[in-house]
Amino acid sequence: MTPANKLISIIILGMALFLIANWWQDSLSKTEGDFIKLGGLSFYTSIDKGTEHAKNLSKPIFLYFRSETCEWCIKFEEESLSDKKVMDILSKNFILISIDTFKQKNVASNLNVRSTPYMIFFTKDGEEISRIPGYIPTDEFLVKLNETLESAKISPNS
């Protein structure tokens, strides 16, 4: 293989890897109107619409702070937010809201969130229940979810 052919092959391979990486990242987080799909769950992207829905349904809120460039966020979304048990508990018991800390800096600042991933649980009326700063593995997150349900006296919906 000539040096020119090697260079062309490397360029084509690089472009293919770039396209595959972009497709893969897009499949993990898809924004559709007021929602974004993270892992296997749909999250509101508007805190106002999410909190209004929580009040209407009398459900507590799971507020998830993330950024597109946060590797720990991606890991949390791939592992925890794609886990069947986590998805079941979150989708049945909480209104899910995702905050992009680059696009919604004021929300993060007002709630004293300075890093990602960062999670806050609220009652339907906006009272804080608990916080999880930083990444935690799925098994630990499940424990925190159940503790939050118990401490807030929320009966898990099955």
Give the model confidence (pLDDT) of 132-145 as tens digits: 999 999 999 999 99
For residue 23, what are its two tokens? 């497709």
pLDDT by residue (tens digit) across 107-138? 898 999 999 999 999 988 888 999 999 999 99
How far apart (Å, rounded) are the C-alpha atoms in residues 85 and 121? 18
What's the pLDDT at 19?
59
* Domain locations in the chain as residue ranges: 1-28, 33-151
Residue 121's pLDDT is what? 95
- Given this model, what pLDDT does residue 23 score? 52
33-151: CATH superfamily? Glutaredoxin (3.40.30.10)
Q: Cα(86)–Cα(80) distance, rounded to whole angstroms?
A: 6
Residues of the chain where predicted confidence (pLDDT) is lower than 70: 13-33, 154-158
Residue type at position 105: K
Nearest to 64 by CA among 56, 86, 24: 86
Q: What is the pLDDT of residue 27?
A: 44
DSSP H or E run through 125: none
What is the model's pLDDT at position 123?
A: 87
Report, in this order, helix, strand and coil percent for the chain, each rounded to 5. 50, 20, 30
Angular region, 112: left φ>0, alpha ψ -120 to 50, beta rest: left
**In this structure, how many other beta carbons lie within 10 angstroms of the beta carbon of residue 107?**
16
